[in-house]
Amino acid sequence: MIEIISIVLEVVIVVVAMMIAVFKRKIYGYGFALTFLLYVLFDSARQFSLEIPSKTLDVLFLVATLSALWAIWQVYRER
């Protein structure tokens, strides 16, 4: 049950991050949206036993981490 709540909250974060990107025109919103969208996929694969190869999940997790790094760097650079 906790995992489902976590996935739902990740979806909410994706929506809010997209709102930041689109309505506030902050490019880092896209980075956070991508990060948490990949977390949703990663967590859903584990929770619902989706047949996604482990290596693919590893790559998705790395991309999510790089996306978060890029987004937070954009926040840091903002004046």
Secondary structure letter of residue 79 according to DSSP: -
pTM of the model: 0.93
49-62 pLDDT, tens per residue? 999 999 999 999 99
DSSP characters for 30-68? HHHHHHHHHHHHHHHHHHTT----HHHHHHHHHHHHHHH
Query: Which helix (H) or strand (E) element contains residue 18?
Result: helix 2-23
Range of the domain at 66: 2-77
Whether the CB-CB separation of 68 and 35 falls below 8 Å is answered with yes
15-43 pLDDT, tens per residue? 999 999 999 999 999 999 999 999 999 99
Secondary structure letter of residue 27 according to DSSP: T
Place 79 in a pLDDT band, splitting at 50, 70 and 90.
Answer: confident
Number of separate domains in the chain: 1
